[in-house]
Amino acid sequence: MRNLTEANLTDAVLARVEGCKDPRTKQILTSVIRHVHAVVREVELTPGEWLEAIRFLTSTGQKCDENRQEFILLSDTLGVTMLVDAIANRRSAGGTESSVLGPFYVEGAPPRETGVLKPVSYPIPTDGPVGKFLGVQNRHPFRPAHTHFIVSAPGFRRVVTELFAEGDRYLDSDPVFGVKSSLVVDFKPDGKDSRDRTHHLVEYDFVLEPE
């Protein structure tokens, strides 16, 4: 097709996707093209802004290595990760709610037979493009204190979730949008020694749904 214009360009691009043989891939590509073109039209993206977006995505990829995935971090801060999780984990009432998966599993990490360290709030990495992305929006990088869990049992759906500490100042502004009220718990002194407030107890029932 020649003589492409603002009015007919999207249809021309969509026509190129028609040859895609996999239905699901075709569906995704078609939707992505339509939405991206719609955004460009809605904001009337300038050439300079387009180039800045290209530079941002390029630098995001360059920040990735075997130990760090900046694109996942970007997905987290855009709420995309949590949205994918919510869609993939639609459950009936009563099952423990899911949340985003935590740090990648580290081979050889030392086990703790008596529990875990009491979590504290901490910042997600801000030394890369995502840090600048948050800064432009005047958003802080601190995740509220939490502990990740993966709970499974034969015949039941596995749940990937996290428990958050009641009273944390960042519960309502988690940069990755993972907090749910049902996952907020109170860390109480275990009561074994009134003088020792370094050990805490959390009581929580994880409820799995049948497969």
Q: Domain containing 77 — which CATH number?
A: 2.60.130.10
Predicted TM-score (pTM) of this structure? 0.88
Collect all residues with Cβ–Cβ distance below 8 Å to 6 and sequence separation of at least 6: 41
For residue 210, being part of any structural domain is answered with no
Res. 174: pLDDT tops 90:
yes
Q: Which H or E run contains 143? A: strand 142-143
The β-bridge partners of 160 are 150
Residue 12 lies in a domain: no
* pLDDT tens readout for residues 73-100: 999 999 999 999 999 998 777 899 999 8
Q: Does the pLDDT value for residue 117 go beyond 90?
A: no
18 located within any domain? no
> 94-98, 104-108, 203-207: lowest mean pLDDT where?
104-108
Task: For residue 188, give the 3-state DSSP assignment.
Answer: strand
Q: Flag whether 150 is in a domain.
A: yes
pLDDT surpassing 90 at residue 107? no
pLDDT at 114: 59
Structural domain boundaries enclosing 151: 67-201
Is residue 11 in a domain? no
Q: Would residue 45 count as lying in a domain?
A: no
Mean pLDDT, all residues of the chain: 92
Are 30 and 17 contacting, i.e. CB atoms less than 8 angstroms apart?
yes
Burial of 6 (0-12, 13-18, 19+ CB in 10 A): exposed
> How does residue 50 score in pLDDT terms, banded at 50, 70 and 90?
very high
Mean pLDDT, range 37-62, rounded to an integer: 99
pLDDT at position 104 over 60: no
- The predicted model gives 133-145 an average pLDDT of 98
- Do the bridges between strand 142-143 and strand 146-151 make them parallel or antiparallel, or are there none, so unpaired? unpaired
- Structure confidence at residue 198 (pLDDT): 73
Residue 42 within a domain:
no
Instruction: Give the whole-number percent of the chain exceeding pLDDT 70.
Output: 92
Distance, C-alpha 25 to centroid of its chain: 23
Average pLDDT for 187-201: 74
Which uninterrupted H or E stretch holds 161? strand 159-165
Q: How many domains does the chain have?
A: 1
Asked if residue 60 belongs to a domain, the reply is no
